[in-house]
Structures are given as C-alpha cells and as structure tokens.
C-alpha cells in the first residue's frame, strides 16, 4: 500500500514527514496548519501521525502510525524530509542526501537542526509559531534548490 502511494507520485516524488516517536499528539490547530501547507505541494506526503485526522488534510497526504523512515529516505522518489531533528533521522537523511525542513522540539534537536542549517542541508522552523505559508515556503525551498 505504501509503495503504491509512493509510486503514484510520478515525477513530483514524495516528502517524508515525522516529528519522531516521542510525539504522540499535537494541538488540532497545529496539525491543521501543517496539513494545510502539505496540501499545497505537488509531492505526495507520507506523514507519521497518530492523532485526529486534520480537517485540512489534502488528497496528496497519507497518515501512518509508523513509517519505515530509513527505507523511505533512501527511496529514489524522496525529495525532502520534514523532521524534528533527532540524531538517527538526521544521519539517515545525510546518508541518502535528502534535504531537510527541521522543526526541532526539545533536547538536542535545536542544535542538530542548527548544524544542518549551517551546512546548507536544512531550513529551520519554529513549531509553535510557523504558519502554513512558512512551512510551504520551506518545503518549496528545499525541494527546488538543487545545490
């Protein structure tokens, strides 16, 4: 099922989105902000999310309670990774050469994303203040910037 969804993305490819295993829920307003931005990109999105389905979820986005993160990051159709900045995810994205949109939440995540931003491998957003437009612009930047 997941592979069929990935293959249905055509030339636009996919975006992998996960804020890690520690985040079980998020405020409905934040989920709708995120879903609204994701609905506006041409890529298909695999979002690791275990909560109430956002009202603004677009047809290009599938919600999963679990995703094979490393396998998806290594998939030739993957264009971007939206991540909280956990060490494993960052290493996997670097290994596969996937640009990141970092939304750090706690612990070492802000520093990890700051390092990736400095190296030109990530754009950073603030979970609490980002708008749909901010997320949309960050995704467009990392997907369309070929450097």
**What is the percentage of the chain residues whose pLDDT exceeds 90?**
90
User: Percent of the chain beyond pLDDT 70?
Assistant: 97
Contacts of 99 (CB under 8 A, 6+ apart): 79, 80, 81, 93, 121, 122, 142, 143, 145
In angstroms, the CA 137 to CA 147 distance is: 17
* pLDDT of 147: 64
Q: How many CA atoms lie within 13 A of 64 on its CB side?
A: 20
Q: How many domains does the chain have?
A: 1
DSSP state of 84: -
CATH of the domain at 99: 3.40.50.2000
As beta bridge partners, residue 14 has 44, 78
Task: Note the pLDDT tens digit of each residue in 73-106.
Answer: 999 999 999 999 999 999 999 999 999 999 999 9
Cβ atoms of residues 121 and 95 within 8 Å: no
Angle at 44 between CA 43 and CA 50, to 5 degrees: 135
Quote the pLDDT of residue 24.
67
Read off the DSSP letter of residue 106: S
Segments forming the whole domain that contains residue 45? 2-144
What are the tokens at 103?
């939304």
Rounded-to-integer distance, Cα 129 and Cα 6, Å: 30
pTM score, whole prediction: 0.95
pLDDT per residue as tens digits for the range 128-139: 999 999 999 999
Has residue 143 got a pLDDT over 80?
A: yes
Question: Taking 90 as the threshold, does the pLDDT of residue 41 lie above it?
Answer: yes
Q: Is 63 helix (H, G, I), strand (E, B) or coil?
A: strand
Task: Pull the structure tokens for residue 115.
Answer: 């390092």
Please say if the pLDDT value at position 23 is more than 90. Answer: no
| pLDDT band, residue 64 (cuts 50/70/90) | very high
């Amino acid at each position: 099922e997941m592979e069929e969804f990935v293959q249905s993305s055509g030339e636009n490819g996919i975006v992998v989105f996960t804020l890690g295993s520690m985040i079980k829920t998020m405020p409905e307003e934040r989920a709708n902000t995120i879903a609204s931005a994701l609905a506006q990109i041409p890529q298909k999105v695999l979002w690791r999310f275990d909560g109430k389905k956002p009202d603004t979820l677009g047809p290009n986005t599938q919600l999963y309670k679990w995703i094979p993160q490393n396998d998806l990051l290594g998939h030739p159709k993957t264009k971007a990774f939206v991540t909280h900045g956990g060490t494993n995810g960052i290493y996997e994205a670097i290994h596969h050469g996937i640009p990141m949109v970092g939304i750090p939440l706690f612990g070492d995540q802000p520093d990890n994303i700051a390092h990736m931003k400095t190296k030109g491998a990530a754009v950073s957003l603030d979970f609490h203040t980002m708008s749909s437009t901010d997320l949309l612009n960050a995704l467009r930047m990392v997907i369309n910037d070929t450097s």
